[in-house]
Each structure stands twice: as structure tokens, then as C-alpha cells.
Structure 1
Amino acid sequence: METTLFYARAACDTMMRKFAAADLPPKGHFYYHQGVFLSGVLKTWQLTGEQKYLDYAASWVHAVFDESGKVKQYKRADLDDIQAGILLYTLYDATGDKFYRRCIESVAAQVQDIPRCQCGGFWHTCGSSNQMWLDGLYMVCPFIAEYARRFDRPEWTDLVVNEIRLMREHTRDAKTGLWYHAWDESRKADWCNPETGLAPEFWGRSIGWVPVAIQDVLAQMDPDDERRAALELYVRDLLTSLLRYQSADGRWYQVVNKGDQPGNWFSFMLVSFCLFPVNLCKPEISDE
């Protein structure tokens, strides 16, 4: 009988046959597309012990960083260009090679360059001025949280907890409990509500990033940190709210609350639910 590990290996092996590590698209770009996939490759290595998976991820990192630890094609600081930094921690632990430590510091320097909204939250991209998107929680928060723990930078834990708090504060809909895809502090984006700055939809894919991001942050935080309870409640509240929109066959739509409308389709965001070990029997949370 096939197991989840069987499918993980099959997926990794298929991609490894199709692409040399250096050719993973977008080729040459230090980006979340490769980072998300290679995170899975490294988890498969951890579960199987097969060296080829570790070597493949390492080969990609060497293709996009120079030997000084700088990103070869670095042009600007966008959240999507931070996510793949989480690979570096595993590679550093596995090899002890100081090259990966230099790369970690290079990515950390990029975090410092990301523009901020007046409220203190990160812009999603330099071209999306004053905009916070749910996707950004996964793109930057796990890297920051792990950096904080490893290198004793408690102010970085403060930064990431505040980012999550701000995202919820500005995107959560009090009526449904769902989080809108994005928020424009300036109210100038052509997609936003000119009064609230909110995006028009609850997008399944973007909501799916939220529990995964917060889970990864919690894994790096001190077990005694009093802020953990609030983060867990954020996720419990969001997932409980999503249960109201589950289809009869157990799936969710990409536009979460519009499953009865033509053109909508099922989303794969359900995977995020399976990754977060919270007690959904206690959904109470204050809106304040």
C-alpha cells in the first residue's frame, strides 16, 4: 500500500529527473517557487536518509549564491525572495559548512531592506507599496522566527509576532471569521475597497498559507512565551470559521465563501489544516 512518503519520494524524483537543480524555474532566481518545493525535498531527506535529496537542495543553493554568500541575482527585497532562506538552516546543520551561515546572513540582511507600512507591517513587494498580503506570512515569518531562535535575536521574534498580529487585525472579517487576501494601507490599489483597503475576496490559497506560517513560527518560539496562546487562538478561530464553508465531499473552494458560483474551483489549502496541531473544540476568541 502506498504511503504519504511513497508519494513524496515520487514527486521529488519526478522533479529531479526533469530539472537539474540549477535549472529549477524560475532559473537563477532565489524564490519561493523553488523554496517551497525544496523544503519538501529536504523533509523527504530527513525521513528517508537518502543523500540524493540533500545533495539536490544543496546544488540549487550553490547555483543561486556566490561563494561569499550573496544572492547572485538579488535586485530588491520582496517577501517572496525570503522564503527559500529556510532551506539554509537545514543545510547548515547537515553539513556544518560556513558557506550556508554566510548565506543566512545575506538573507537576513534582505529582511532589513523590506519596506514597511506606516503600521509597521511589511510591504508584500517593492512594487506593491503599502500592501500586506496573507501569502507574506509564510514567505518571511518562518525565516525570521528561526533566525531569532538560533542567533538569540528576541527582537526578531517581536517582529514576526507583530507581523502576524497586524495581518489579522487588518484582514479578518468579523462577520465570517475569514481573512481577506490582502489589505492596502493607502487605499490606492485598483483591487481594494476604497474605504477599508481590503481585497474583495477570501482566497483559499492565501488563507492556506496562514496556519502553516504560524505553525512554523510557534515551533521556533520559547515554550513559555506568553504570546503563544494568542497565535494559537488566531489559527483556531480561522480554521473553525473555515469549517462552515466545507463542501459536502470535504473540500474547500478557492473563493472560500462562493462555492455555489460558476467558475469557482476546489483549493488545495486543506493541507495546511493537517499540519497544525491545535484543539478546534475551543474556538472562542476576542475580536478586540
Structure 2
Amino acid sequence: MKQTLKDLTRKSVFLLMMLLACSGIFAKSKTKWAVNPELPMSVRMCQSEIIRNPEGWMLDFSTKLKWNYCHGLECQAFLDVYDRYGGDYLYKYVKQFADTMINENGRIYGYKKTNYNLDHVNSGKILFRLYEREKDPRYKIAMDTLRAQLASQPRTSDGGFWHKKIYPYQMWLDGIYMGSPFYAQYAATFNEPEDFADVVSQFLIIAKHTYDKKTGLYRHAWDEIKALPWSDLKTGQAPHVWGRALGWYMMAIVDALDFIPENQPGRDKMILILNDLVKILPKYQDQRTGAWYQVVDMPEREGNYLEMSCTPMYAYAIAKGVRKGYLPEKSLSIAQKAYQGILDNFIVVDDKGIVSLTRICGVAGLGGRKPYRDGSFDYYVNEIVRDNDPKGVAPFIMLCLEMER
């Protein structure tokens, strides 16, 4: 008799929880699994997410298999926690996801190169650590597949990657995070130093085209041909500074810098961009909670709200930037204020110790689908808001690791 998806899921939950119980990671009550409140917050959040999503493909509220940037984002955070604290269950969880999505020939389930979707590159970052440990050629083939996409990714006239094939001549801040850290790590890992110039150029091209002189921040996206209703007829820019888009960009800077050689031309300009942003962001930081708003530069506008993906993203980028020497030590207080504000105002812990992060924007974009995403203020503040979205949870885990240092 064929097993249903529900039967398989129940079995996987049972087996996973038995494994974790035997390893002493979780305590078991009469009714449900519990998280030890004495563990570091980064570990507690990982465990809470595994309770909610017993298999990696279930992340991002998924009901079917998909190779999605959110899965890779959160699995990357799990590996970061594993590298710091250990816990084989974390490594096995990520490996199981990779092995579910990549077949014996190294083919990625559901992936199509000719879509030229930068979002699909991000999850490839988890494969570097798996390949280093396992030496499984499937992982290398999958990484090579994603690198081949970048080799032929459509570009703007000045060399910037299109965000997706379906968004021609558009660069989004989101896309810099999706593609460039993987690009930099691949170049460093597989000794392709000639690619670093192109990696750096992606950061500088989009900075030039999305910079908002009025605020000193960066708009969500840029349309080179100014053809879309959301794009400004003079600049091609999107109308607003969306919190998470700017967060993607800041995280991309500090993560890509891990791999870009110090003598690479343009690297210093990336660090300067980061410093300039960190000088400006406190102006828009909520004084009571330390958080930032969904539309960053309009904190007083009715309908705007404090948002829990951009807030941990900024704080993580700042904290890591200080640790790595890109930012002055005094900047750390900005991240510390945000971190404590998250813990005090946006974290909920139930009676079993299971941790939830609240007030996360579920999705936002430009154009594309129906109803049309016009990039207006009303659009951004009326998209779905939910708890435990991986786009907030993963940066929060990474922020926790920085704070726990």
C-alpha cells in the first residue's frame, strides 16, 4: 500500500523526535516536545523551528518540495549554529534537505536554469559546507549548475544581473543577496579569482542606481528601461525604501566580504557603503524598541509598522561588520539595542519553551503577479504579516550568534 504524504510526515516527526530525545536535546512532556530555556537563544530558535518543521522541505510554510531561497536561508543559519555549538541533529537536518532536493546525478529538484532566477542561487550556499565534509560529488555538480546560471545570467547595459528573466532589465536589492555571496564563495572555494571583480561590481552598480539622495538609503529596485508603472520616469527607481530589501543588501555586503580578497579593487567602496548606511539607520530606529519600520524612511506615516525581518537583518549586518573590523566599535550599540528590543517586544515563548518571532512581512515584490505590485506605501504595509517566517527567523538566529559571542 502506498504511503501518503501525511503518513510519511508523521513517521518523520516521530523518528526525528526520538533521535533528539535520545541525544538529550529536547525534553518530552506528556503532550508535546519542549525546548530547554537554559540553552542559547540561537539554539532554542533552531529547535523550535525543527519542532514546527520536522523536515527541511517544510520550511517557509511549504506543502510540497521546492528549491527556494528561504529554505537555504534557514538551513544556512542552522549550519552556523552547528558550527558554533555542535548538535549533529542540525547538520543531519540540513543534509536531509539537500539529499531530498538533489538526486543521485546532482540534479536539483524543480530547478530550471533558463528561468534565470537569482532567488534559486541562494540555497546553493549550504552545499559548500556539506561538500567539504561529505565529498559527495552530487553537491559539487549542483553548485556548478548554479554557477553556470550566473555565467549566462542576463544583464543590464552596465553589467548588473537581472533579478529574474521575467523581470527584464531590473535589478533588485534582494537579488544581490541571492546571488553575490554564493558567487564570491564559489570563486574563493574553487580558485576563480578573476570573478571577484564581477562580484564587487554587482554591489556598486545597484548602489549607483538605487541610491536615494533624500534619505541616504537605497530604494527597493531599479528598472533600466523605465518601462514599468512602479519605476520613476527619470531614475527608474522604485518608489520606496523597503525594509527587507535594504536588509538583504546589507547582509550581502558583510557575507560576501568574507571571501573577497582585501586587495580587490572596489572592496573598500562596499565597506564605505556599509558605513554610510550605519550612520543613517539610527535616525529611523524606533527609540522604544530599537526596531525599524516596514517602509524605513516613513516611521510616522499611518499604517506603517515595526517589522521583524529588516530589524534582525540590519542588526546582524552591523554586529558582524563590527566584529570583522568594517565598522567602528561604537556601532555595536545600534545592534545591541535592536537585539534587546526584539527579545523584549517581538519574541513569544510558550509553556513548552517553543520560541516564536512575530510581526514578519511574509512577502513583498514589484510588478509581476495579480494584483499588480505597484511598490506604493499602501502596497508594502498591507502585504501579509505573520509569525516565524524564515526571512525573519534566519537573520534572527544569525544575529543571536553574533550577540552570543
Match of 1:258 in 2: 298
Question: Are 1:162 and 2:197 an aligned pair?
Answer: no
192, 214, 229: which one aligns with 1:190: 229
Match of 2:259 in 1: 220
What's the secondary structure of 2:284's corresponding residue?
coil
What amino acid is aligned across from residue 253 of structure 1 in structure 2? Y
Question: How do residues 140-151 of structure 1 correspond to structure 2 at under 5 angstroms?
Answer: 140-151=179-190
Question: How do residues 84-233 of structure 1 correspond to structure 2 at under 5 angstroms?
Answer: 84-233=123-272
Misfit runs of 4+, over 6 Å: none
User: What are the superposed Cα offsets for residues 172-231 of structure 1, whole Å, 9 maximum, x if unpaired?
Assistant: 122321100110001011211122111000111111111210111111012333432211
Does the C-alpha gap of structure 1 residues 185 and 18 become closer, same or farther in structure 2, counting only changes over 3 Å?
A: same
C-alpha separation in 2, matches of 1:96 and 1:47: 22
How much is the aligned-residue C-alpha RMSD, in angstroms?
A: 2.1
Would the aligned equivalents of 2:56 and 2:93 in 1 still touch at CA under 8 Å?
A: yes
What's the secondary structure of 2:171's corresponding residue?
strand
C-alpha separation in 1, matches of 2:52 and 2:284: 37
What's the secondary structure of 1:183's corresponding residue?
strand
What's the secondary structure of 1:132's corresponding residue?
strand
Match of 1:63 in 2: 100
Question: Are 1:21 and 2:69 an aligned pair?
Answer: no
263, 270, 280: which one aligns with 2:311: 270
What amino acid is aligned across from residue 70 of structure 1 in structure 2? R
Q: C-alpha displacement at 1:8, in angstroms?
A: 2.1
What's the secondary structure of 1:15's corresponding residue?
helix
Q: Which sits farther off after the overlay, 13-22 or 230-239?
A: 13-22
Q: C-alpha displacement at 1:130, in angstroms?
A: 0.8
User: What are the superposed Cα offsets for residues 255-283 of structure 1, whole Å, 9 maximum, x if unpaired?
Assistant: 11111111101123232333322335999
What's the secondary structure of 1:82's corresponding residue?
helix
Q: Which sits farther off after the overlay, 240-249 or 207-216?
A: 240-249
Q: Report which structure shows greater RCO (CA 8 Å, sep ≥6).
A: 2
41, 54, 69: which one aligns with 1:32: 69
- Among the aligned pairs, what percent are the same residue? 32
C-alpha separation in 2, matches of 1:23 and 1:281: 39
User: What are the superposed Cα offsets for residues 99-156 of structure 1, whole Å, 9 maximum, x if unpaired?
Assistant: 2222211211222242211221111111111111111111001000011111121232
Question: Are 1:8 and 2:50 an aligned pair?
Answer: no
Would the aligned equivalents of 1:240 and 1:280 in 2 still touch at CA under 8 Å?
A: no
Would the aligned equivalents of 2:197 and 2:265 in 1 still touch at CA under 8 Å?
A: no
Does the C-alpha gap of structure 1 residues 281 and 38 become closer, same or farther in structure 2, counting only changes over 3 Å?
A: closer
What amino acid is aligned across from residue 238 of structure 2 in structure 1? A
Unaligned runs of 5+ in 2: 1-35, 332-405
Does the C-alpha gap of structure 1 residues 22 and 209 become closer, same or farther in structure 2, counting only changes over 3 Å?
A: closer
Q: Which sits farther off after the overlay, 270-279 or 39-48?
A: 270-279
C-alpha separation in 2, matches of 1:236 and 1:128: 30
Aligned residues: 282
C-alpha separation in 1, matches of 2:65 and 2:150: 20
Tell me which structure has the larger Cα radius of gyration.
2
Q: C-alpha displacement at 1:232, in angstroms?
A: 0.6
C-alpha separation in 2, matches of 1:54 and 1:63: 14
TM-score (norm 2): 0.66
C-alpha separation in 1, matches of 2:330 and 2:91: 40
User: What are the superposed Cα offsets for residues 56-104 of structure 1, whole Å, 9 maximum, x if unpaired?
Assistant: 1111111111212121211322011100111000111222222222221
Unaligned runs of 5+ in 1: 284-288
Match of 1:248 in 2: 287
Does the C-alpha gap of structure 1 residues 281 and 194 become closer, same or farther in structure 2, counting only changes over 3 Å?
A: farther
User: What are the superposed Cα offsets for residues 27-48 of structure 1, whole Å, 9 maximum, x if unpaired?
Assistant: 3221111011111111111122
Would the aligned equivalents of 2:57 and 2:71 in 1 still touch at CA under 8 Å?
A: no
What amino acid is aligned across from residue 38 of structure 1 in structure 2? C
TM-score (norm 1): 0.91
Question: Are 1:279 and 2:313 an aligned pair?
Answer: no
Does the C-alpha gap of structure 1 residues 55 and 253 become closer, same or farther in structure 2, counting only changes over 3 Å?
A: same
C-alpha separation in 2, matches of 1:276 and 1:59: 32
